[in-house]
C-alpha cells in the first residue's frame, strides 16, 4: 500500500472506525488464510491447450520438489480455526434463538454462492454461443466449483457450533482429538493392509472430521480452553505427526491434488492435512499477540479490513479472474507462457509469477460489481422472490453441467 497522505488518511479513518472489541489478530489470520486460497490456485494450477480447448494441469506434475510450497499455501486449517473462534464470539452475542443465529450465518454464506453459479450459468450459454470449445467450458465450470466445496463443508461445521461449544466446555482442547482419531482410522482402512478391499467411497467419511478438527480447536480456543501450553503441544505434535506421515508412511508430499496421481491429501482430507492444521493452529495461537500488535498500525490494518469485507467474493470469484485472462487467449488460439501453455518449464513458473498481479487486478475489477451479492438482496417482496427463484434455477443448471450430468 502506498504511504502517500491520502492513503494514510484513509487508513486512519478505517482504524478509527474499528470497534475496540474487534479482535484484530483473528481478522488478520482470516485474511492471510483467505488470500492463500487464490494464491494457491493461481500458482499451483495451470492449463494446457489443445483442439478441444483448455484443460486443467499442474506444475507439481513436473516439479514435484515444489510440493513444500503447498504446505505454506494450504491454510484452510487456519481458516477453520479462526472460523470456530469467531463463531463462539458471535454465538455468545446472538440476539435471538440459535436457529435464527444459524439462519443468518448460513444466508451470508449462501448468497454469494448462488450468485456466482447463476452468473456462470449465463456465461456458459453466452460462451457456447460464441463458439468456445466444450473442453474450455467444462474446465471453467470445474474451476468455479472447485472452491465452493469449502462453503458446503463450512456450512455444516457452522451448524454444529452449539455442539462444539458444549464439547469445548466439557473437554477443552481435547475435544478435537476424537476427530483426528476418526481420520486416522479411515486412512488406515484406505491405505493400510486392507486397502484393496476398502470401498472407493470410504475417503468421503473424512470430509467432516477432517475439517471439523480445526474448527473445534477454534471453538475451544474461543472458550478460553486452549492456552500457550496447549498451542505448543499442537505445534510440536502436529509437526512430528506430519514428518512421520511423510517419511515413514510415505503420504504424498503435495497438499493439493496433482493430476495423474493415485492419492491426494486434500479431496477428501487425509491425516496429513489434519497434522498440518494442528501445527498451523498451534503457531497461530502462539503468534496471536504479536499479530495484534502489528495490526494496531493503521496502514497494516486497513488491507485486512478490506479483505475481510470481501471474503466470500474473493473465495467465489478468484478462479473467474484467472479464467477472464485465459479463456480469451485460448479462444484466439494464442500460446501464452504462464497462461495457456503447459506448466512444465521453469519459464512457465516465472511467467505465472508475472501473471499474478494481472489476476489480482481482474479479481478487484470483478469484485467491484459482485461484492454486492454478499449483502441481503434489497428489493420488493415479489421481486425478491422472483430473483431468488431465477438465480436458483440458473444455479441448478450450472451444477448439472459442472458435475458432468449434462
DSSP state of 196: G
Question: Going residue by residue through the chain (406 aa), what tens digit of pLDDT does each one get?
Answer: 445 688 899 999 999 999 988 899 999 999 999 999 999 999 999 999 998 899 999 999 999 888 999 999 999 999 999 999 999 998 888 877 888 888 888 888 888 999 999 999 999 999 999 999 999 999 999 999 888 888 889 999 999 999 999 999 999 999 999 999 999 999 999 998 888 888 988 999 999 999 999 999 999 999 999 999 999 999 999 999 999 999 999 999 999 888 777 788 988 899 999 999 999 999 999 999 999 999 999 999 999 999 999 999 999 999 999 999 999 999 888 889 999 999 999 999 999 999 999 999 999 999 999 988 887 766 566 766 777 788 888 888 888 887 774 5
What's the rounded Cα separation, in Å, for the pair 245 and 154?
Answer: 26
pTM for the whole thing?
Answer: 0.92
- Tell which residue, 19, 41, 97, 104, has the closest CA to residue 255: 41
Q: How many CA atoms lie within 13 A of 292 on its CB side?
A: 13
Q: Look up residue 102 and give its three cell numbers.
A: 444459524
Cell reading at 202: 470410504
Amino acid at each position: 500500500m502506498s504511504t502517500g497522505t491520502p492513503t494514510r488518511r484513509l487508513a486512519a479513518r478505517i482504524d478509527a472506525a474499528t470497534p475496540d472489541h474487534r479482535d484484530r489478530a483473528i481478522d488478520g489470520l482470516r485474511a492471510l488464510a483467505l488470500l492463500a486460497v487464490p494464491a494457491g490456485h493461481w500458482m499451483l494450477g495451470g492449463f494446457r491447450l489443445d483442439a478441444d480447448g483448455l484443460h486443467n494441469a499442474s506444475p507439481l506434475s513436473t516439479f514435484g520438489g515444489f510440493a513444500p510450497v503447498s504446505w505454506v499455501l494450504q491454510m484452510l486449517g487456519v481458516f477453520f480455526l479462526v472460523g470456530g473462534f469467531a463463531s463462539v464470539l458471535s454465538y455468545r452475542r446472538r440476539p435471538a434463538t440459535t436457529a435464527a443465529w444459524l439462519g443468518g450465518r448460513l444466508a451470508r454464506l449462501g448468497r454469494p454462492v448462488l450468485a456466482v453459479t447463476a452468473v456462470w450459468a449465463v456465461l456458459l450459454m453466452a460462451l457456447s454461443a460464441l463458439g468456445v470449445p466444450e473442453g474450455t467450458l467444462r474446465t471453467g465450470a470445474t474451476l468455479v466449483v472447485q472452491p465452493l466445496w469449502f462453503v458446503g463443508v463450512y456450512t455444516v461445521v457452522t451448524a454444529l457450533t452449539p455442539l462444539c461449544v458444549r464439547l469445548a466446555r466439557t473437554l477443552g482442547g481435547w475435544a478435537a482429538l476424537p476427530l483426528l482419531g476418526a481420520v486416522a482410522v479411515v486412512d488406515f482402512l484406505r491405505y493400510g493392509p486392507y486397502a484393496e478391499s476398502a470401498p472407493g467411497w470410504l475417503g468421503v467419511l473424512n470430509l467432516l472430521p477432517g475439517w471439523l478438527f480445526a474448527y473445534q480447536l477454534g471453538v475451544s480456543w474461543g472458550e478460553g480452553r486452549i492456552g500457550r501450553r496447549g498451542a505448543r503441544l499442537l505445534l510440536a505434535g502436529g509437526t512430528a505427526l506430519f514428518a512421520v506421515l511423510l517419511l515413514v508412511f510415505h503420504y504424498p508430499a503435495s497438499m493439493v491434488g496433482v493430476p495423474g496421481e493415485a492419492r491426494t491429501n486434500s479431496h477428501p482430507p487425509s491425516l496429513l492435512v489434519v497434522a498440518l492444521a494442528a501445527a498451523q493452529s498451534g503457531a497461530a495461537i502462539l503468534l496471536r499477540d504479536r499479530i495484534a500488535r502489528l495490526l494496531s498500525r493503521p496502514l497494516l490494518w486497513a488491507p485486512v479490513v478490506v479483505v475481510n469485507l470481501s471474503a466470500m467474493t474473493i473465495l467465489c470469484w478468484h478462479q473467474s479472474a484467472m479464467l477472464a485472462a485465459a479463456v480469451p487467449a485460448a479462444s484466439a488460439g494464442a500460446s501464452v507462457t504462464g497462461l495457456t501453455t503447459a506448466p512444465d518449464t521453469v519459464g512457465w513458473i516465472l511467467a505465472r509469477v508475472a501473471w499474478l498481479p494481472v489476476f489480482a487486478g481482474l479479481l478487484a475489477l470483478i469484485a467491484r460489481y459482485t461484492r454486492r451479492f454478499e449483502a441481503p438482496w434489497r428489493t420488493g417482496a415479489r421481486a425478491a422472490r422472483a430473483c431468488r427463484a431465477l438465480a436458483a434455477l440458473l444455479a441448478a443448471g450450472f451444477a448439472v453441467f459442472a458435475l458432468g450430468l449434462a
